[in-house]
């Protein structure tokens, strides 16, 4: 613990001045002001209504809601990479407070879910105990950073008072269906009324019967199939290593779990599924209305993957086979069909003679995981089913094959193969000698590139032709595309033909799958769902929420071999027999029900936490409507509303950021929020990366013990190799904020993090470099405070004009930089001003007050503790947090004399000192009279003289 702010420190050997700004003095100052802020409740942001309301303060101040992606409370606490975004939002929020905004900034903890649970399993400590102590540690670390957060609004997703509302929102989703006519979610009771009145017919299998003739149970089943969250028996990502299923978004491209890197298998299970696909169009289209980085929008667009095309039905002996194609215009070239090996019609289609071959192929396809199956390098394989289907436009019988390049999870799991117009189909047709018929004549250049003579005979083609081209071989007696050249025209012609003849219709498909929402784990929100004797799910009544997570001594998931894809999972909650069954009256008398034993995935709590920050103590509603409208409501007509600035890493591009948009849109449709989107502006901060070192055996060695010698890196006398990567335990290169607080102080640490580059760029951590920012603060301190006596040496003398100009240029630049989150350049401008001030202090012995006051104010968003201390010494009444950020005087932004570069043929040859208001003629005359210019021109007459008024002159010879 350092000395307190007001007691002198004893320097080593007495040589260090007692009040030099160093880590020890900083520690005292920082603690003093952190305590002060807490007692003074400096950063509490008032609401417009409810218990946190303070209308007098709200009035006249524009709101600003800034948000960080909240952390997982992991056991190892924070390393220096974590706070990058938190510091940035804090600087921005503090700056905005000084421009008169009512700033809401808080931080909570995403404490349910796999990371916390995996950690608990490793340590053997109950996740609640673990989570709580981890949160306490992180709170301590974050408090030392001096973040201007409203502590009242800090929530944890594991709080019962929080997950009670997570469960409530789940039930809102459970009680809703998506009306594709109105394009919005509505209450399920309204669907029931529409069925009863005959306004709408169920589209499920039972729909042959009239609604009123169905049994209650049958009606229930139909309704359940419409819900936005429903139980589905469908292929899921089963990860035995984690003992749970995972969402598509949680599975890596290699077919392994995002967490733990265990193998993931596809298998059928009955699981809760969220109908996020109902929102695919809105999730896609509304991206255009968001102020997000284009790269993230693109990742979401790709993930949603909307393709427009047509569904086409082919008749076969086993019934109609439906395919999806983006190129219905190529239907005349469909010379065979390919079904996924898992397609439901394969058994019915396969002829006797092909049975064993088909069975063998399906078996081998089943053994490959998705990754192996989708490996590009693999040769296409497949087997003939022996059956045929009728091409609806040509009337021809075309063979039906199965092949693993057709995926069950996309489209209909079956394709029409057009080998002349699709690379994959071409390859397959060549491999199995299936017919290839050209339906478009490729342009001449195409043949030229492939060095073959133009010919509609595909036998000579080296590959399929994909693109626009004149249609050939594309007519029957009702329709002809022949001679057409436009793909879009051909598509619309064939689509209307398909619709008229009931062979198909235009259609849209998405890559986005519905969201697998249950996990066979312990550390998550229990579902507010019970089952009756018919195994039908029922909502737990609102007054019984939360459904508390039962305390378990054995919270571990069932231990399974990571490669055991067969064993059924047994969720830990299924072992709690006394909790499992419950007696309830759900409106038809007391009955015994069985509880849902799965828990929600880790993303549930983070889908709506920003809303709870707004109204964290509300026991009646998840958020008060008026409060939500104040902080999140649309600013103008057409504005989506949402958080004003959301800062976080890019890793959540298609997980958290997609799920929370989905939940938010459901809440919007149901009238619970006024904003259409949760996060209006998104900013992705970069990562702090670090060097790591390996010895000759390839072992990582502690990075902090490696020394650099003549460009070599030495650990314990041995040369080691340097690499560069994420900060982490395995690379032994973690640096913690605590080390930085001890060595330099929080203000220095904050400045260093902000100074090393633009916020969106990743950059390496270099502890060696941190001292630069400490020196800057030390010099600033020394410019205002006597290091020996701790007394201010600030004078009321006016500052010389040039220093005053430097101040105003600095104010102007810092203002703009802060506004645009360019803290690195803001800091360098402040250093420049301080360097100019240092020269003045060295010459005169004191700092003019007119410089000291605004300099301190400008520093305060970046390094608030030292700024508070200086502010107190300066004796200004208004708290620095709520003073007005300095405003530059435009008259002082320009000097009377300016320096103008002179170029000859674009090369710099001289610099001229000129009056700031010099005219072009005067500038030309001045330049031509300059000795260097005369020498450089060497008597030549310029062919042209380019003058940028008051900026530059260029002689062209």
Q: Is it true that the peptide bond before 546 is cis, omega within 30 degrees of 0?
A: yes
By beta-carbon proximity to RNA, the closer residue of 397 and 905 is: 905
**Least distance CB 130 / RNA (angstroms):** 28
Burial class (CB in 10 A: 0-12, 13-18, 19+), 943: exposed
Residue 267 to residue 37: CA distance in whole angstroms: 55
Number of residues near RNA (by CB under 7 A): 92
What backbone phi and psi angles, to 5 degrees, belong to 42? Answer: -55, -35
Q: Based on CB atoms, which residue is closest to RNA, 544 or 839?
A: 839
CB of 259 to RNA, least distance (A): 14
Region from 164-172, 197-205, 826-834, 850-858 binding RNA, contact rule CB under 7 A: 826-834
Of residues 25, 179, 957, 155, the one with CA closest to residue 623? 155
DSSP 883: S
| C-beta of 192 vs 739, nearer to RNA | 739
In the window 8-47, what residues touch RNA (CB under 7 A)? 12-13, 15-16, 20
CA distance 245 to 251: 10
253-282: contacts with RNA (CB under 7 A): 253
Cβ 419 to RNA, closest distance in Å? 11
Binding mask 298-337 for RNA (x = CB under 7 A): xx--xx-x-x-x--------------xxxx----------
| 374 near RNA (CB under 7 A) | yes
Q: Which stretch binds RNA (CB under 7 A): 88-96, 410-418, 586-594, 633-641?
A: 410-418
Q: The tokens 């009646």 sit on which residue?
A: 620
Work out which of 86, 165, 630, 776 binds RNA, going by CB under 7 A.
776
Q: Closer to RNA at the Cβ: 156 or 834?
A: 834
Binding flags for RNA, 633-672, as an x/- string (CB under 7 A):
-----------------x--xx------------------
- Residues 335 to 364: which contact RNA by CB under 7 A? 340
Question: Which positions from 135 through 194 interact with RNA, judged by CB under 7 A?
Answer: none
Choose between 294 and 578: whose C-beta lies nearer to RNA.
294
Contacts with RNA, 417-456, as mask; x by CB under 7 A: -----x-x--------------------------------
* Residue selected from 18, 218, 357, 410 as contacting RNA according to rule CB under 7 A: 410
940 burial level (CB within 10 Å; 0-12, 13-18, 19+) = exposed
Least Å distance, CB 673 to RNA, is 29
Q: Which stretch binds RNA (CB under 7 A): 95-103, 415-423, 468-476, 609-617?
A: 415-423
Sign of CA dihedral 42, 47, 52, 54: positive
Q: Within 832-861, which residues bind RNA (CB under 7 A)?
A: 832, 835, 838, 842
Binding string, residues 786-825; x marks residues near RNA by CB under 7 A:
------------------------------------x-xx
Is 301:287 a contact under the CB 8 Å cutoff?
yes
What letter does residue 569 receive in the DSSP assignment? P
Considering only residues 512 through 571, tell me which ones interact with RNA, judged by CB under 7 A: none
Provide CB contacts within 8 A for 349, sequence distance 6+. 316, 317, 318, 339, 385, 386, 387, 400
| Residue 516: CB minimum distance to RNA, A | 16
Give strand pairing partners of 236: 267
Applying CB under 7 A, among 85, 241, 413, 648 the residue interacting with RNA is 413
Could you give the angle at the alpha carbon of 47 between the alpha carbons of 43 and 48, nearest 5°? 150
Residues 217-256 binding RNA (CB under 7 A) are 253
Minimum separation from the CB atom of position 589 to RNA (A): 49
> In the range 908-947, which residues lie near RNA by CB under 7 A?
908-909, 911, 936, 944, 946
Tokens of 491: 């598509």
> Radius of gyration of the chain from Cα atoms?
35
Nearest approach, Cβ of residue 380 and RNA (Å): 5
Identity of the residue, 558 or 824, whose beta carbon is nearer to RNA in the bound complex? 824
Nearer to RNA, 710 or 878 (CB): 710
Percent helix, strand and coil across the chain, each to the nearest 5: 40, 20, 40
Nearest approach, Cβ of residue 765 and RNA (Å): 9
Residues 6+ apart with CB under 8 A from 398: 314, 334, 335, 336, 337, 388, 389, 390, 391
Contacts 24+ apart (CB under 8 A), 828-831: 828/755, 830/776, 830/855, 830/858, 830/859, 830/862, 831/776
Task: Give the full edge-to-edge strand order of the sheet including 515-516.
Answer: 244-246, 229-239, 265-274, 515-516
Q: Quick one: which of 36, 779, 849, 950 contacts RNA (CB under 7 A)?
A: 779
Q: Is 903 in the site for RNA (CB under 7 A)?
A: yes
Task: Determine contact, residues 748/859, Cβ cutoff 8 Å.
Answer: no
What's the CA gap between 519 and 604, in Å, rounded? 11
Please pick, from the candidates 396, 506, 674, 828, the single residue that binds RNA as defined by CB under 7 A: 828
Query: What's the 3-state SS for 49-74?
Result: CCCCECHHHHCCCCEEEEEECCCCCC
**Smallest separation, CB 487 to RNA (Å):** 13
SS3 assignment, position 594:
strand
Query: Nearer to RNA by C-beta: 52 or 464?
Result: 464
CA quadruple 674, 677, 683, 684: dihedral positive or negative?
positive
Stretch that binds RNA, among 227-235, 412-420, 561-569, 860-868 (CB under 7 A): 412-420
Q: Is 270 or 911 the residue whose CB approaches RNA more closely?
A: 911
C-beta closer to RNA: residue 211 or 741: 741
Cβ(527)–Cβ(547) below 8 Å: yes
The CA distances from residue 594 to 164, 222, 242, 531, in Å, are 20, 22, 25, 5
If the CB atoms of residues 409 and 879 are measured against RNA, the closer one turns out to be: 409
Does 580 contact RNA by CB under 7 A?
A: no
Measured from the CB of residue 120, what is the shortest distance to RNA in angstroms?
Answer: 27
Smallest gap from Cβ 67 to RNA, in A, equals 22
Q: Which stretch binds RNA (CB under 7 A): 83-91, 205-213, 407-415, 713-721?
A: 407-415
- Tell me the DSSP string of 857-869: HHHTTTSHHHHHH
With beta carbons less than 8 A apart as the criterion, state whether 419 and 438 touch: no
DSSP code, position 12 = G
Q: Which C-beta is closer to RNA: that of 541 or that of 772?
A: 772
Residue number, 440 or 778, with CB nearest to RNA: 778
Helix (H, G, I), strand (E, B), or coil: what is residue 773? helix
Q: Binding string, 722-761, against RNA, x = CB under 7 A?
A: ---------------------------------xxxx--x
Contact residue for RNA among 89, 778, 881, 883 (CB under 7 A): 778
When asked if residue 772 is in the footprint of RNA (CB under 7 A), the reply is yes
Spell out the residues 6+ positions from residue 106 whose beta carbon is closer than 8 angstroms to its own.
149, 150, 151, 153, 154, 613
Q: Which of residues 451-480 bind RNA (CB under 7 A)?
A: none
DSSP-derived secondary structure letter, 596: -
């Amino acid at each position: 613990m350092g000395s307190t702010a007001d007691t002198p420190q004893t320097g080593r050997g007495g040589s260090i001045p007692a009040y030099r700004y160093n880590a020890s003095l900083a520690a005292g100052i920082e603690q003093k002001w952190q305590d002060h802020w807490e007692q003074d409740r400096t950063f509490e942001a008032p609401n417009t209504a409810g218990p946190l309301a303070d209308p007098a303060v709200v009035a006249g101040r524009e709101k600003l809601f800034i948000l960080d992606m909240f952390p997982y409370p992991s056991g190892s606490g924070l390393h220096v990479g974590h706070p990058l975004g938190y510091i940035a939002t804090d600087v921005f929020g503090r700056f905005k407070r000084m421009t008169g905004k009512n700033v809401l900034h808080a931080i909570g903890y995403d404490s349910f879910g796999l990371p916390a649970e995996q950690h608990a399993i490793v340590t053997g400590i109950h996740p609640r105990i673990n989570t709580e102590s981890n949160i306490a540690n992180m709170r301590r670390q974050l408090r030392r950073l001096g973040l201007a957060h409203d502590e009242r609004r800090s929530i944890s997703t594991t709080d019962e008072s929080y997950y009670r509302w997570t469960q409530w929102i789940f039930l809102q989703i459970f009680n809703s269906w998506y009306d594709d006519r109105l394009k919005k979610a509505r209450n399920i009771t309204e669907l029931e009324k529409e069925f009863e009145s005959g306004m709408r017919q169920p589209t499920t299998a039972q729909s042959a019967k009239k609604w009123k003739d169905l049994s209650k149970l049958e009606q229930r089943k139909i309704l359940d199939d419409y819900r936005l969250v429903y139980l589905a028996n469908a292929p899921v990502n089963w990860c035995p290593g984690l003992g749970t299923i995972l969402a598509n978004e949680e599975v890596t491209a290699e077919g392994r779990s995002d967490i733990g890197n265990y193998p993931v298998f596809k298998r059928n299970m009955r699981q809760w599924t969220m109908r996020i696909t109902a929102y695919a169009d809105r999730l896609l289209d509304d991206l255009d209305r968001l102020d997000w980085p284009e790269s993230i929008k693109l990742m979401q667009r790709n993930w949603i993957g909307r393709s427009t095309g047509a569904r086409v039905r082919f008749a076969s002996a086993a019934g109609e086979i439906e395919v999806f194609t983006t190129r219905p215009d190529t239907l005349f070239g469909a010379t065979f069909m390919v079904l996924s090996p898992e397609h439901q019609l394969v058994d019915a289609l396969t002829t006797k003679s092909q049975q064993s071959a088909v069975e063998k192929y399906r078996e081998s396809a089943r053994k490959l995981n998705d990754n192996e199956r989708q490996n590009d390098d693999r040769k296409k394989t497949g087997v003939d089913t022996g059956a045929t289907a009728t091409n609806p436009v040509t009337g021809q019988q075309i063979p039906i094959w199965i092949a693993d390049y057709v995926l069950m999870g996309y489209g209909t799991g079956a394709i029409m193969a057009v080998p002349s117009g699709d690379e994959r189909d071409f390859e397959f047709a060549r491999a199995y000698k299936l017919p290839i018929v050209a339906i478009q004549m490729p342009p001449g250049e195409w043949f030229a590139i492939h060095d073959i003579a133009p010919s509609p005979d595909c036998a000579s083609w080296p590959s399929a032709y994909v693109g626009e081209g004149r249609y050939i071989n594309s007519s029957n007696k009702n329709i002809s595309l022949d001679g057409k050249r436009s793909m879009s025209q051909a598509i619309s012609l064939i689509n209307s033909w398909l619709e008229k003849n009931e062979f198909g219709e235009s259609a849209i498909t998405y890559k986005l799958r519905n969201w697998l929402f249950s996990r066979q784990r312990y550390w998550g929100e229990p579902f507010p769902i019970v089952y009756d004797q018919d195994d039908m799910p029922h909502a737990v009544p609102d007054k019984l929420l939360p459904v508390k997570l039962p305390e378990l001594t054995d919270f571990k998931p069932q231990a399974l071999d990571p490669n055991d894809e067969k064993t059924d999972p047994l969720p830990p909650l299924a072992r709690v027999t006394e909790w499992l069954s419950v007696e309830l009256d759900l409106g038809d008398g007391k009955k015994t029900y069985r509880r849902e034993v799965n828990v929600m995935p880790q993303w549930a709590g983070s889908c709506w936490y920003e809303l709870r920050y707004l109204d964290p103590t509300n026991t009646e509603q998840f958020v008060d409507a008026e409060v939500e409208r104040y902080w999140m409501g649309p600013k103008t007509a057409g504005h989506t509303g949402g958080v004003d600035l959301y800062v976080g890493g890019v890793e959540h591009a298609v997980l958290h950021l997609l799920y929370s948009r989905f939940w938010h849109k459901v809440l919007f449709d149901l009238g619970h929020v006024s904003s259409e989107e949760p996060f209006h502006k998104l900013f992705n901060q970069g990562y702090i990366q670090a060097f790591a070192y390996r010895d000759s055996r390839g072992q990582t060695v502690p990075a902090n013990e490696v020394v650099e010698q003549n460009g070599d890196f030495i650990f314990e006398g041995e040369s080691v190799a340097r690499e560069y990567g994420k900060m982490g335990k395995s690379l032994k290169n973690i640096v913690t904020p605590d080390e930085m607080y001890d060595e330099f102080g929080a203000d220095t640490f904050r400045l260093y993090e902000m100074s090393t580059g633009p916020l969106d760029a990743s950059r390496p951590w270099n502890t060696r470099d941190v001292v630069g920012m400490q020196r800057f603060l030390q010099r600033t301190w020394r410019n205002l405070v006597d290091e020996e006596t701790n007394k201010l040496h600030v004078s009321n003398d006016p500052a010389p004009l040039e220093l005053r100009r430097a101040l105003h240029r600095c104010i102007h630049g810092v203002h703009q930089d802060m506004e645009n989150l360019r803290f690195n350049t803001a800091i360098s401008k402040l250093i420049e001003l301080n360097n100019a001030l240092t020269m003045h202090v060295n010459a005169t012995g004191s700092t003019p007050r007119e410089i000291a006051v605004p300099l301190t104010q400008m520093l305060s968003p970046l390094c608030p503790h030292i700024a508070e201390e200086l502010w107190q010494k300066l004796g200004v009444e208004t708290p620095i947090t709520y003073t007005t950020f300095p405003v530059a005087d435009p008259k002082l932004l320009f000097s009377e004399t300016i320096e103008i570069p002179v170029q000859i043929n674009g090369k710099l040859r001289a610099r001229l000192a000129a009056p700031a208001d010099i005219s072009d003629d005067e500038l030309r005359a001045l330049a031509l009279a300059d000795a260097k210019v005369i020498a450089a021109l060497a008597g030549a007459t310029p062919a042209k003289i380019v003058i940028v008024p008051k900026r530059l002159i260029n002689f062209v010879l």
